[in-house]
Chain A
Amino acid sequence: MDSGILTRPATGSAGIARGERVKPYRTPAQKANVRNLIFLAVIVMVVCACYLLVNAYPDKPQLFRYVLSLRIPTLAVMLIAAFAIGGASIIFQSIINNRIVTPCLLGMNSMYTLVHTAVVFVVGSGSIVATNSNVSFAVDLVVMGIAATFVYSYLFRKTGNNVLYVLLIGTVLSSFFGSIQSTMIRVMDPNEYDTLLTTLVADFNNVNSEVILFSLLLIAALVIFLRKELQLLDVITLGKDQAVNLGVDYDRTVRRLMLGVVLCIAVATAMVGPISFLGLIIANLARQLLRTHKHSHLILGAALMGMLAIIAGQLISQHVFSYAVPISTFITIGGGIYFLYLLLFKKGGI
């Protein structure tokens, strides 16, 4: 066996000819993945077009313009939410090294529910905090962002970066928030409760364009802020020992990524309501379609799956059930069935 290249004097490692990049090696499976991603992107575009144009009265220009002015913001909200939730779920699963977890387990949904209930409970459903969607978005985002950042950074430090502990505490916090919320509901005026209930269900309509722009900027900022950590995700997947062996500052990377996950979920939830359960479905669909560890592919795949699921769900909710059944019903039912399928038939494998 010729071992000349493998053996190198201890001082020689700096002397490699650098710079000559080669075309990345792609396995047959990876080539198929690129094809699948393109195919998925085309489907998403078709569904987007359907969403904008179905029953849009293209023969009546004024009506057509009005319909579009309503649908384009909703479409933007769906796309942003899908990207935030899909990306956050994939990252979260890769950190925990388990594909049946979702960022839901951190208790962000119950936190959102609690914040909304508390607002209505304290200042009433007629107050500007509850009625103006800009203000209520700001309140949600600030409260959830700060609370989550503080709680989870603290938990990470306290538990010595033990992700499973944080997950366990998140589950406990989730019931804790839930109990406080149900206590408030019990003593609440029934009319107030009625108004409250509509905001506790995920909804893609009636989001202000300021909110959309702000969310978009925030998510873009997060991606830029975490660009280095995102590139390390593939290595993080190998587990702590291997990541450290390969020279990655594991604890810091995971802490920053978790912060990104929490903030992404906060943005998406503040924008449309408690919907992060969707992440479980779309992340797994992406992993099933793209049998790879490459996170650039997985995140894109999950985002596209999310867009497909949400927009298709919205189409059905809008045109088949004429808004009688909210989209979150589909998500919860579909997600529940898919979750059972994963547990029963996939045995946690991929």
Chain B
Amino acid sequence: MKITNLKKKYDGKTVVDSVSFTIPRGKVLSLIGPNGAGKSTVMGMISRLIARDAGDIHFEDKDLSHWNSKELAKKLAILTQHNNVQMKLTVRELVAFGRFPYSGSRLTAEDVRMIDKAIAYMELQEFEDRFIDELSGGQRQRAYIAMVIAQDTEYVLLDEPTNNLDIYHASNMMRTVRRLCDELGKTVILVLHEINYAAFYSDYICAFVDGKIAKFEKVEDVINKETLSEIYKVDFEIIHINGKPLSVYY
């Protein structure tokens, strides 16, 4: 996926300005940056949730806007933070929605197998008949990830997947992200606030400041004192654990 000169304005205020980058296939890419830097907006535009004002998003052989929405749903899945379901929906029914782009609401044997796999992959078997609104935040997030897995797309976009999760569930979530990439061969793009999760679990980091890309490099080239201080305007110390750079800030 190749993004060129992406722009977005809200009420005359430019929130995303001339953003261009190419998403590396089969890797984990984290978008980081201060609040209001435009990373979620970029994510929204890549996933067609937000309309762009200008720029091209070239996906596979054509621009994103020329894709049939349903066909795109078989290639690219997005999970946002707004998942407030008011209806009575069981985990299994939610996961089954992942097959909607393929078979509508009538499931085939293939669909059922994919749903079973997704539920097993996220270890949700014992919850599968529970209602979504009766689950804890961590379990609910896992159910949504299972739905994305059932959707069986090459690209998976996650908007702040660790939001509202405690450390235990958040680090589990990040390990799942890594597995999606390493075991299932997916390209994962995340918006993250936790720099260290981004540093530890991703391959590439794209840092945004004021609607522009400040740095788009491999993890080691972004997570260093100078770059981070420049992006966040806070003092950083870098330590290394298991060969990965981690930042300390206060």
Judged by a CB distance under 8 angstroms, whether A116 is at the interface is: no
Bound together, the chains give a CA A231 to CA B105 distance in angstroms of 8
Tell me the total A-B contact number using a CB cutoff of 8 A. Answer: 133
What residues of B have a CB within 8 angstroms of the CB of A276 in the complex?
none
For window 1-27 of A, CB contacts with B under 8 Å fall at 1, 3, 5-8, 10, 13, 16-22, 24-25, 27
Judged by a CB distance under 8 angstroms, whether B109 is at the interface is: yes
Q: State whether B85 touches A19 (Cβ < 8 A).
A: no
Judged by a CB distance under 8 angstroms, whether A123 is at the interface is: no
What residues of B have a CB within 8 angstroms of the CB of A28 in the complex?
129
Q: For B74, give the chain A residue with the smallest CB separation.
A: A13
3 interchain residue pairs of minimum CB distance? A247-B73, A247-B70, A293-B87
Given contacts A244-B48, A248-B69, contact A6 B87 (CB under 8 A): no
Judged by a CB distance under 8 angstroms, whether B97 is at the interface is: yes
Which B residues contact A (CB, under 8 angstroms)? 47-49, 60, 68-75, 77-80, 82-90, 92-93, 96-98, 100-114, 117-118, 120-121, 129, 131, 133, 149, 151-152, 154, 183-185
Judged by a CB distance under 8 angstroms, whether A190 is at the interface is: no
Q: Return the contact of A239 from the options B78, B85, B131, B183 (Cβ within 8 A).
A: B85
Bound together, the chains give a CA A28 to CA B97 distance in angstroms of 19
What residues of B have a CB within 8 angstroms of the CB of A29 in the complex?
88, 90, 129
- 19 of the cross-chain contacts (CB-CB < 8 Å) are A6-B114, A6-B118, A10-B75, A18-B103, A19-B108, A24-B107, A25-B112, A29-B88, A98-B86, A237-B86, A238-B83, A241-B83, A242-B97, A245-B151, A246-B97, A246-B101, A246-B151, A247-B68, A293-B93
Q: Return the contact of B90 from the options A27, A246, A248 (Cβ within 8 A).
A: A27
Q: State the interface size on chain A (CB cutoff 8 A).
A: 45
Q: State whether B152 touches A247 (Cβ < 8 A).
A: no
Q: State whether A241 touches B82 (Cβ < 8 A).
A: yes
Q: State whether A6 touches B149 (Cβ < 8 A).
A: yes
What residues of A have a CB within 8 angstroms of the CB of B111 in the complex?
22
Distance from B72 Cβ to chain A, minimum over Cβ atoms (Å):
7
Q: State whether B112 touches A350 (Cβ < 8 A).
A: no
What residues of A have a CB within 8 angstroms of the CB of B100 in the complex?
235, 246-247
What residues of A have a CB within 8 angstroms of the CB of B96 in the complex?
25
Judged by a CB distance under 8 angstroms, whether A97 is at the interface is: yes
